[in-house]
Amino acid sequence: MAAPAVAARRGPGRPRKDLTTGQSGGLSPTMRQTLQMDLARTSQLYNNAQVQPRRVSSGSGPAVRGSARLQTQANAPSPLQRAQSHYLSPGVPSPVPGGRPASLQPALNANAQCAMVGQAHAFVPPTTQPPGASHQHFAQLFNMPALLEQMDARLHQLALADPDVTKYHGDQGRLNLLKEAVRLQDSFYMVLSQLFCLRTTSPSSLPQAVSHIVVSEVSWRQLEALLCSNESLLAPNVAWFAEFPSPIMKIYSSEHPGFKAAYEAQVRAVADYLIKLPQQWHAMTEASIIRQAPPLTEDMVEQLSLHSPILQNTAFRAIARIYFAAAHLSNMEDGIEALVQLHRADQTQYAQGMRRSVAQKNNAYLAYRLLFNRWKQYDEWAKRHSERQHDPTYEFRGQSLIPFQIPLESLAAFGLQVLSSRITPISQAQPQQQQQQQQPHAHPVRQRQGSMSEQPPNPVPLQQLAMAQQSAHALANGQAWFRNAAHGSPLQVPHTAATTPQGGPARTPQPRPFLNPPIPQPTRLLPGANDGARPQPTHPDSTRSALHQAHLRDPTLVAAKVGEEIPKLYRQVETVCLSPTRIHEKRPTQLLTFELGDDCVATLPKQAVDGSGAPPRETLTEASRQYRLRCCKIDLKMGFPNLSSWVEADNIWPDTVYFDFNGEPLDPRRKLQHGRSLPVDLTHLVQPGSNELKVTVNRTTTDTTPFDHAVAVEMVGVISHETLVSTLRTIPAKDSLASMQQSLNGPSASDSNDDDDHDDVKMISNSLTIKLFDPFSGNKIFDTPVRGELCLHRDPFDLDVFLSTREPRGHGAETPSAVDTWRCPICRKDVRPNILVQDGFLMEVRRELEAKGLLGTSRAIVVSADGTWRVKEEERKGVRSASLEREERARVVKVAKPPPVVIELD
C-alpha cells in the first residue's frame, strides 16, 4: 500500500452526474429511481422463461409494475478469470498457505555483450519480451460456501428489517449482486465492491492504484450512477461491504505468497476500468442510442476494460433503458428483459472464446434493433388492447395477450437455432418490418378451445428461448448461424393455416411449441468460398485443434535408473550443430549442412513404440543427446552475439517457408493449433557425417511483409541433479565484494582519464541493496544463492527452489525437465544449469546471519562502498491500523520549541 488516497464524499445537496454525459442533473428522478429498482432485480432470471406483459392501465397513466422476478445468471464466467490460468482448487479455505507463486517480475533490458563459452559461432540478441504475468484466481482463495452463508445471513437480517423491500431496496440489490458475484466467482466485481465502499468508510486505506491521483472523482460518480451511491445505503451495510470478502489489512498482511498478488492484479484491472469509464462511456452510449442497440460484451471489454459479467449486465440495462425511455413505451422493462436474454447468449459466446468480425458485430446490432422495433409494435398493441377493455363492443374484452415472441432473426444472430418454416436475414428484416407497420397485424385471434387472444406476428415465444439455450450449439461464424438456422434446428414451432371470415379478423388455433429430435446437418471439412473467417480460440487445445498432427506428439521421456534410484534429470541446450543462419526471402531454395561424429548414434535415446497409438517412450541418461530445429526472428544489424541470446529468442514458423531434413519433409507445429510455435524434433532423423537441411521459400514478388528469420539446429544435453550441484561454479567472496565496490566507487583513475570518456556528469551510488529472500517462495532466505552469469543484478535466488519449479507439472519424478524453462525469475535472462554461478559473498552473509539468529527476519542487506554491509531495516508497508498510529504518536516525546531568533536588518 502506498500513500493514502483522499476521496471526497458528495454532500447532501450536490447533484449526481449524468449517466451518459457525466454532467450534473442529467437523469430525471423517475429514471434514477428505475435504475435503483433494477438493482434489486438484476440477480434473478425469469422464473418462467416466458415474458408476461404487465397490465396496462387505461388512458396514459403509468404501467403497473408486476413483471416476473429475475433469477441469477449462470454460465458466464469472466474473461479475466479465464485468462488467469494458475488457479487453486475451488473451496480452498481463506487464506491457504503454500500454492503457486505470483507473477514474476518483468524483464530488464540489459545490453551486456558476453562471449559464448566454447562456441565460435556468431549470435544476435533479440528484443527481450516481458513474460506474461500469471496470477492466482483471487476468488478461489476463499471458501465459497462460507461466503455464500455470510451473504444469506445478511440478506435474512435485511428481510427481517424490511419484509416488503420498500425502504432498503438499494441494500438488497447490492447484496444480491455481490452474492451472484460470489456464486460466479466474479473476482472483478468482488474487489470493485470492496474498493467502492472502502472509499466511503476509509479513503486512506485505498490502494495506490485507485487513489484520487490515479482515478478521478468523475469515475466514482459514474460508478454511483450504475450501482447507486453508498450514501443511500445503511451505514452498517456499507461497512460490511468494505470488509468483504476479507478486510484489506488482512489481505495485505497475509503470509500466503499469492494472496496479495492476486488481489493487486484485480485492483489494477478495476483501476483500468475506472479510468476508462468517464473516457469511453459517453461515446459508447451515444453510439448505442444512434443504432438503437446496446453494446456487445466484446465492446464493453475492449472499450471499458469491463471484465465483470455482473457489472456488464448492469451497464447493458442502463444503456438500453436510455433509448427505451426515449420511445415513451408504456411497458419498457419487459422489453429490456427480452434484450437481456440475447445479451446473456452473447456473454456465453464471448466466454467460450468467440470474437466477432465487423460484419458479425453489425449483424448482432441489427438483431438488437429488430427486437426493439418489434417490441415497440407489441407495446402499441398491448396499450390499444388495454384501452379497449372498457369498450362493451370490443369482441376480445377480458382476454389477455399472448407472450412476446423474440424474432427468429435475432435468435439466430446469437447462435440460438430455432426451426421454422421461414427465416429472414437481418439485413432484410428492416424493410419487411416497415411493411408490417402498414398492415393490420394486431387483429384478435380466436383459439379453437374458445378462448381468444390478440396475437402480434412474431415467430418464437420467449419460453422457447430457454429450451433453445439448452439444446442449441453456439456456432462459430455469423453467416453459418443464418445458414444453419434456415435449414432447421432442434426447436420447431408448428404453423397452422389461418381462416379469415369475410369482414372479420383472422382466426387460427393457438400453436403449441414442442421439442423435436435434432436433425443431422451436412458438414464440410473445408470452408466454402463464400464463408467468412472463422474465429480462433485465444488458447487453443491441441487435443482438439491439432489432431492432424497427433503423430508429431512429443515422446514420453523417462530417466533411466542408476542402481536402485531414479535420478532427477534436467535438459538444456548445450550447443548448436548448425549455427543460426538467416533465411533469405529472395532465394527460393537454400541448403544448409552440418557434420556429426560417428558416435552421435550411440548418444541418441532409446525409443520404444507400442501399438496402442500412445506417444513413443524414450529413456534418457546423462550421456543422451537430442536434436531439434528452431526458427526465430533475427535482428539484421546485430545477429546473435552468443548462445544465450539465441536461446532466449521465441520460436516462430513463417507461413511461407518449408523444411526438409535429410530428405524427410518436416511438419512444424504452429501457434494456431498448439498455442505457441514448438520446435521440430530431429533426434531420430540425424545421421553420422553430413546432415542436410533444405529450406524452401514460397513468397510472391508482391509480398512486402518483413522477413527476418534465422534457423539453427540445437543439441540438447542432459545433466543430473547431483552433477549440477557438484559442478556449480562459485564466485569467491573476495571477487564478488570487489566487483560490488568497483560498481559503487565508479571508474578507476585510468578509466577516468580515458580519451573515450567525455561524460560531464556521472551517477554514482554509495550503497547497494541486495534482497535475500527467495523470489519464488518469498518467505525464507536462500540456502544456496545463485544467479546466471549474464545477470546484471546482485539479488540471488535459491538453487533448490528454482530447480523444483523446473519439474514438469502433472508428471512423475522420473520425468526430465523441459528444455525452454531456464529463465531468471528476476531479470528473465538465460540461466541454464551450465551458466549458473554461486555467490560466495552471500554465502558468508548467510552464515553470519545464522550465527546471530537473524535468518528469519533479515530480508535484505545494504553493502557500502567501503565493503561493509548491514541488515536493511524493514519498511512498514500495507494498511496501517488506527490503533498502531495512535501508539506511535504516544511514543513521540514532545520537545519544547526553542525561542525565536530575531535578526535585525540594517
The helix/strand/coil state of 6 is coil
- The residues, ordered by sequence, that sit 6+ positions from 504 with a Cβ below 8 Å of its Cβ are none
Residue 589 bridge partners (DSSP): 696
Report which residue type is found at 170.
Answer: G
User: Which triple of cell numbers denotes residue 814?
Assistant: 522420473
Section 322-343 average pLDDT: 90
- The residues, ordered by sequence, that sit 6+ positions from 904 with a Cβ below 8 Å of its Cβ are none
3-state secondary structure labels for all residues of 56-121: CCCCCCCCCCCCCCCCCCCCCCCHHHHHCCECCCCCCCCCCCCCCCCCCCCCCCCCCCCCCCCCCC
DSSP 429: H
Residue 260: pLDDT band with limits 50, 70, 90: confident
- The residues, ordered by sequence, that sit 6+ positions from 748 with a Cβ below 8 Å of its Cβ are 742
Peptide bond into 95 cis (omega under 30): yes
What gap in Å lies between CA 305 and CA 303, rounded to an integer? 6
What gap in Å lies between CA 614 and CA 402, rounded to an integer? 59
Question: How high is the pLDDT of residue 27?
Answer: 42
DSSP codes of every residue in 140-200: GGS-HHHHHHHHHHHHHHHHHH-TTSSS-HHHHHHHHHHHHHHHHT-HHHHHHHHHHHHHH
Q: Using only C-alpha atoms, what is the Rg of the chain? A: 34
Write out the H or E segment, with its range, that includes residue 696.
Answer: strand 689-697
Question: How high is the pLDDT of residue 876?
Answer: 60
How, if at all, do strands 617-620 and 556-559 pair? parallel
167-176 core/surface letters (b: 16 or more CB in 10 A; e: else)? ebbbbbbbbb
Residue recorded with cell 422493462? 333
Residue recorded with cell 540471488? 796
Pure H helices in 636-720: 643-648, 671-674
- The residues, ordered by sequence, that sit 6+ positions from 656 with a Cβ below 8 Å of its Cβ are 697, 698, 699, 703
Residue recorded with cell 501508539? 887
Report which residue type is found at 484.
Answer: N
User: Can you say whether the dihedral through the CA atoms of 71, 76, 80, 81 is positive or negative?
Assistant: positive
Report which residue type is found at 339.
Answer: L
Question: Which residue, 580, 574, 840, is CA-closest to 718?
Answer: 574
Backbone angles phi and psi of 391, in degrees to 5? -90, 115
Question: How high is the pLDDT of residue 906?
Answer: 58
Count of other CB atoms within 10 angstroms of residue 533: 10
> What is the residue-averaged pLDDT of the chain?
73
Q: What is the rounded end-to-end Cα distance, in angstroms, of the chain?
A: 52
Query: Dihedral angle at the C-alpha atoms of 356, 358, 359, 365, nearest 10 degrees?
Result: 80
Query: Dihedral angle at the C-alpha atoms of 189, 192, 194, 199, nearest 10 degrees?
Result: -160
pLDDT digits (tens, 9 = 90+) for 376-418: 999 888 888 888 777 777 777 777 778 888 998 899 889 875 5
pLDDT digits (tens, 9 = 90+) for 608-639: 887 777 888 899 999 999 999 999 999 988 89
Question: How high is the pLDDT of residue 751?
Answer: 53
- pLDDT of 710 > 70? The answer is yes
Section 785-810 average pLDDT: 88
How, if at all, do strands 836-839 and 729-731 pair? parallel
Section 90-96 average pLDDT: 33
Give the percent of the chain with pLDDT over 90.
33
Backbone angles phi and psi of 578, in degrees to 5? -115, 110
Residue 698: pLDDT band with limits 50, 70, 90: very high
Write out the H or E segment, with its range, that includes residue 300.
Answer: helix 297-304
Residue 468: pLDDT band with limits 50, 70, 90: very low
What gap in Å lies between CA 867 and CA 864, rounded to an integer? 6
Question: Which residue, 463, 469, 689, is CA-closest to 595?
Answer: 689
Section 873-889 average pLDDT: 62
3-state secondary structure labels for all residues of 805-836: CCCCCCCCCCCCCCCCCCECCCCCCECCHHHE
What domains are there in the chain, each with its CATH number?
Answer: 1-51+68-98+134-275 (no CATH), 553-725 (2.60.120.780), 728-748+763-812+821-888 (3.30.40.10)
The helix/strand/coil state of 499 is strand
- Comparing 27-36, 269-278, 314-323, 843-852, the range with the smallest average pLDDT is 27-36
What gap in Å lies between CA 339 and CA 296, rounded to an integer? 11
- The residues, ordered by sequence, that sit 6+ positions from 611 with a Cβ below 8 Å of its Cβ are none
Residue 3: pLDDT band with limits 50, 70, 90: very low
Residue 461: pLDDT band with limits 50, 70, 90: very low
Count of other CB atoms within 10 angstroms of residue 185: 19
- pLDDT of 498 > 60? The answer is no
Write out the H or E segment, with its range, that includes residue 430.
Answer: helix 426-438
- Comparing 9-23, 25-39, 644-658, 719-733, the range with the smallest average pLDDT is 9-23
pLDDT digits (tens, 9 = 90+) for 562-579: 878 889 999 999 999 999
Phi-psi region of 213 (alpha: psi -120 to 50; beta: other; left: phi over 0): alpha
What gap in Å lies between CA 710 and CA 121, rounded to an integer? 14
Question: How high is the pLDDT of residue 759?
Answer: 52
Contact 470, 495 (CB under 8 A): no
Could you tell me how far CA 57 lies from the centroid of its own chain?
48
Question: Which residue, 37, 96, 764, 761, is CA-closest to 336?
Answer: 37
Per-residue CA distances from 112 to 639, 648, 808 (Å): 14, 14, 31
DSSP codes of every residue in 546-604: TGGGGGGPPPEEEEPPBTTB---EEEEEEEEEEEEEEPPTT-SEEEEEEEE-GGGGGGS
Q: Does 255 or 404 have the greater pLDDT score?
A: 404
- pLDDT of 490 > 90? The answer is no
Could you tell me how far CA 504 lies from the centroid of its own chain?
59
Section 253-281 average pLDDT: 88
What gap in Å lies between CA 432 and CA 409, rounded to an integer? 12
Q: How many CA atoms lie within 13 A of 488 on its CB side?
A: 12
- pLDDT of 456 > 60? The answer is no
Backbone angles phi and psi of 709, in degrees to 5? -130, 150
Section 275-301 average pLDDT: 93
Section 134-158 average pLDDT: 76
- pLDDT of 472 > 50? The answer is no
Q: How many CA atoms lie within 13 A of 48 on its CB side?
A: 10
Section 243-248 average pLDDT: 89
Question: How high is the pLDDT of residue 151?
Answer: 84
